[in-house]
Amino acid sequence: MCGIIGFVGREQAAPILLDGLARMEYRGYDSAGIAVRSETAGLQVRKAKGRLQVLDELTHGGADLEGVLGIGHTRWATHGEPNDINAHPHVSENGRIALVHNGIIENYMEIKEHLIKQGVTFVSDTDSEVVAQLLEFHYNECHNMLEAVGRCLRRIEGSYALGIICADYPNALIAARKDSPLILGYGKNGNFIASDVTAVIKYTRDVAYMNDGEIAVITADSIDVFDSELIPVDKDHHQVDWDVSAAEKGGYPHFMFKEIMEQPEAIAKTVSPRLRDGRVVLDDITLTAEYIQAVSRIFIIACGSSYHVGMVSKYNWERLMRRPVEVCLASEFRYSDPLVDEHSLVIVISQSGETLDTMAAMREAKRRGARTLAIVNVVGSSIAREADDVLYTWAGPEIAVATTKAYSTQLVLMDLVGLYLGDLLGAVSPEEYAAIVEGIQALPENMRKVLANVETVQYFAAQYFNHNSIFFIGRNLDYAMGMEGSLKLKEISYIHSEAYASGELKHGTISLIESGTLVVALGTYAALFDKAMSNVVEVKARGAEVLAVTTEEFRERMEKVADGTLVVPAVHPVLQPSLGVVPLQLFAYYVALQRGCDIDKPRNLAKSVTVE
Ligand code: AGP
């Protein structure tokens, strides 16, 4: 995720900005930049794609940029590929306003078109540059920076943390936030803004947290905060009491845990720009109703967890579209002489966008004439560039090898696409469409409820971490979800684990169930709960210990039979796996923790598999 730092004080800003950006490197980024106001040279901006070291060398450790007021940014691309031009800070057309931005401006196209009509020239593909140009537009109207910021914020929709400097204001930095974190730091030799405490902890532990809608004016000796009506607001100060090493992972013990906890926010980012007035809006793709009507076969191709997203999506898409959907392992697809042609739609799912098997499968599909739509997290990655259409998950950088937030954002994005295509085909009733949209909007909040129960999952992990072999069983969506639960467990805890469709047990696998075998029984799919219960009884009768995952509605019945029960809120069936998978991620995490495993870098595994 992007990182912001800003400084104004009695020391040179550039080295402080570079140091703060380096402390946020753990968040992941693809480019970086700083802007410093100099008495003699005005606003000086330096940006570079790639590692911070490139920017550091470019500016000789900041020594090239003289000035005590500046802003810095590490970017993780969302709108526009990672390159020097799309990197922040963005500068307005007259070169007098520079800003850094975290978040997504949802109505940027509309504002951009309006400004272009007024004669403004844009240089980047980003939503963020729109804010810089809009600010200049309003500043030219009112000649007061604070007022211009207020006017600008009233026009933009979406999420933002903003750090702004203006050549006409030698002593002040302006900050604003909505739905994207920003802190104020009170230092001895100057004051700070940052998206992350980590960036400023070396200089000050005295911080205040900006609230949504607030605007701050920061000088070397003061920080004044205003609400959206520009009425002054008093801020409570907080003393940061963590040490710097804990801060490297934003205070979390592992990246995996951090990324699990980030899921509600990540889902909101994936979803909110794509829902307008109760409708799914996919501006980035060009699939029309005529095209989808004419498609004869739909394939989903992916590897690992992304393939598991495909498995869940098969059930959901067939329900929403009433069309057959085939899910293929990318590594098998390309060698199977696939029945793909120009009437096929091929969906390719990949967090990294660089998985070799997935890329090769996509190329094979394209070679045979299929149209491809990629669901990718990393902007500008190879798969994103080569697909006919791409939809980004906007989960932010995922660092732990075991995917969690990328899986969740892929899943919800596939739900959005399924709903969109199902609607184009006229296969979803208006009632179901509305119920799913409502459920998607409520997903972040429901996921927070699940995440509030980490201690219960931790308790069960402590009970069961010594098992050598664990089975995940479920039917339909629960089966597909169990595949991901099982993979999470085996990849980070090294416990042998299998996911089975419950009905298959008695065709062979039940012979492995004996006294003490742990079975994770998934019973969140309401339509088949009775069947799920029968399977729980069946394995209990053979001596298994059962840890169940179910919804509030079925808690009582499950608790009578299972040894342990984890409960998630009941939501629309299409969305239930998005909640059910969370306790499974946490279970894998805590089991691996109990076993002393290297959670973020499990043995033999790489984050991105770019070899066959
Ligand atoms: C899951 O935790 C793994 N990291 C792995 O299965 C991963 O999902 C798979 O390698 C596919 O990666 P991709 O999504 O980047 O293509």
The atom of ligand 1 lying closest to the CA of 355 is 16
Identify the CATH number of the domain in which residue 331 sits: 3.40.50.10490
Structural domain tally of the chain? 3
Residue 519 alpha carbon to ligand 1 centre in Å: 25
CB 592 within 8 A of CB 400: no
User: Which residues in 554-575 are b (16+ Cβ under 10 Å) and which e?
Assistant: beebbeeebbbbbbbbbbbbbb
Residues 554 and 527 in one domain: yes
Q: Please choose, from the candidates 41, 4, 17, the residue with its C-alpha nearest in 3D space to the C-alpha of residue 167.
A: 41
pLDDT for the residue numbered 245: 60
Q: How many CB atoms lie within 10 A of CB 277?
A: 6
Nearest CA residue ID for atom 16, ligand 1: 350
pLDDT at residue 250 is higher than 80: no
Q: Give the strand pairing for 371-376 and 389-392.
A: parallel
Predicted local distance difference test score (pLDDT) of residue 217: 98
400, 427, 447 — which closes off a domain? Answer: 447
Whole-angstrom CA distances from 171 to 7, 13, 176 are 10, 12, 17
Q: Does position 247 have pLDDT exceeding 80, yes or no? A: no
Q: What is the pLDDT of residues 372-426, one digit of tens each?
A: 999 999 887 889 989 999 999 999 888 899 999 999 999 999 999 999 999 999 9
**Residue 531 domain boundaries:** 454-594
Q: What does the block give as tokens for 593?
A: 């923790």
The sign one gets for the Cα dihedral 90, 93, 98, 103 is negative
Confidence at residue 180, expressed as pLDDT on a 0 to 100 scale: 81
Judged against a pLDDT cut of 70, whether residue 612 lies above it is answered with: no
Residue 338 lies inside a defined structural domain of this protein: yes
Active site residue 328: no
Give pLDDT, residue 93.
96
Question: Do 44 and 21 belong to one domain?
Answer: yes
Tell whether 176 and 84 lie within a shared domain: yes
Residue listed under structure tokens 């920061």: 218
Name every residue whose Cβ is closer than 8 Å to that of residue 292 and which is 6 or more positions away in sequence. Answer: 345, 421, 424, 425
Determine the residue of 383, 403, 489, 490 to mutate for testing ligand 1's pocket, defined as the one with the most ligand atoms within 8 A of the Cβ atom: 403
Same structural domain, 201 and 265: no
DSSP for 385-405 reads HHSSEEEE-------SSS-SH
Confidence at residue 360, expressed as pLDDT on a 0 to 100 scale: 94
Residue with tokens 């998630």: 568
Last residue of a domain, one of 241, 269, 288: 241
Q: Is residue 605 part of a domain?
A: no
Ligand 1 nearest-atom number relative to CA 488? 2
Structure tokens at 97: 């306003």
Q: Whose CA is closest to 549, among 579, 506, 516, 505? A: 579
Q: Which residue has the higher pLDDT, 271 or 399?
A: 271
534-551: burial string, b at 16+ Cβ within 10 Å, e else? ebbebbbeeebbbbbbbb
Q: Collapse the DSSP code of 422 into the 3-class scheme (helix H, G, I; strand E, B; otherwise coil) and give the result.
A: helix
* 577 prior amide bond cis, ω within 30: no
CA of 356 to the centre of ligand 1 (A): 11
Is there an atom of ligand 1 within 6 Å of 491 CB? yes
- Position 113, amino acid: E
Share of the chain above pLDDT 70, in %: 98
Which residue has better confidence, 560 or 605? 560
CB 474 within 8 A of CB 532: yes
Say how many Å lie between the CA of residue 307 and the centre of ligand 1: 8
- Whether 401 is in the pocket of ligand 1, judged by its Cβ within 6 Å, is yes
Sign of CA dihedral 283, 285, 286, 292: negative
| 609 CB within 6 A, ligand 1 | yes
207 with 190, same domain: the answer is yes
Give me the mean pLDDT over the 549-564 stretch. Answer: 96
295 & 343 share domain: yes
Which of 355, 410, 414 has the most ligand 1 atoms within 8 A of CB, as the residue to mutate? 355
DSSP string, 537-606: HHHHHTT-EEEEEEEGGGHHHHHHH-SEEEEE----GGGHHHHHHHHHHHHHHHHHHHTT--SSS-TT--
Q: Is 180 in the pocket of ligand 1 (CB under 6 A)?
A: no
Answer yes or no: do 136 and 195 share one domain.
Answer: yes
Residue 435 inside a domain? The answer is yes
Phi, psi of 372, deg, nearest 5: -120, 140
Report if residue 214 sits inside a domain.
yes
pTM (2 d.p.): 0.80
Q: What's the pLDDT band for 17 if we cut at 50, 70, 90?
A: very high
pLDDT in tens, 44-79: 999 999 989 999 999 999 999 999 999 999 998 888
Residue 413: its pLDDT value, please? Answer: 98
Give the pairing of strands 325-329 and 297-302.
parallel
User: Is there a cis peptide before residue 89, judged by omega within 30 degrees of 0?
Assistant: yes
Tokens of 160: 């933002």
Read off the tokens for 247: 């801060």
Confidence of residue 27 (pLDDT cuts 50, 70, 90): confident
What's phi and psi for 392, nearest 5 deg? -90, 145
Reply yes or no on whether the pLDDT at 243 is more than 80: no
Residue nearest to ligand 1 atom 10, measured at CA: 304
Are 344 and 389 members of one domain?
yes
Distance (Å, whole) CA 164 – CA 37: 11
Residue 493 falls inside a structural domain: yes
Higher local confidence (pLDDT), 611 or 24: 24
CATH code, domain carrying 85:
3.60.20.10
When pLDDT is averaged across residues 452-480 and rounded to a whole number, the result is 96
Tell whether 364 is covered by a domain. Answer: yes
Q: Is 601 a member of any domain?
A: no
Q: Are residues 318 and 366 in the same domain?
A: yes
Q: Which amino acid is at 243?
A: D
For tokens 């902890």, the residue is 201
Residue 608 lies inside a defined structural domain of this protein:
no
39 and 129 both lie in a single domain: yes
Interval 215-221 mean pLDDT: 97
Mean of all residue pLDDT scores within the chain: 94
Task: Give the integer Cα–Cα distance in Å for 329 and 304.
Answer: 8
Quick check: is 269 catalytic?
no
Q: How far apart are CA 490 and CA 498, in angstroms?
A: 9
Does residue 358 line the site of ligand 1, with CB under 6 A? yes
Residue of 90, 28, 87, 38 whose CA lies nearest to 65: 38
pLDDT of residue 242: 66
Query: Are residues 382 and 475 both part of a single domain?
Result: no
pLDDT band at 40 (very low <50, low <70, confident <90, very high): confident
In which order are the strands placed within the sheet that holds 173-178?
Answer: 90-91, 97-102, 160-166, 173-178, 215-218, 223-226, 232-233
Which helix H or strand E contains 3, and what residues bound it? strand 3-9
Residues 6+ apart with CB under 8 A from 535: 473, 475, 502, 503, 505, 521
| Nearest CA, atom 5, ligand 1 | 304
Q: Which value, in Å, is the radius of gyration of the alpha carbons in the chain?
A: 25
SS3 143: coil
> In this structure, are 286 and 397 located in the same domain?
yes
What's the pLDDT score for residue 78?
83
507-520: per-residue pLDDT in tens?
998 899 999 899 99
Q: Pick from 419, 375, 415: which is nearest to 395 by CA?
A: 375
pLDDT in tens, 297-344: 999 999 999 999 999 999 999 999 999 999 999 999 989 999 999 999
Last residue of a domain, one of 428, 447, 466: 447
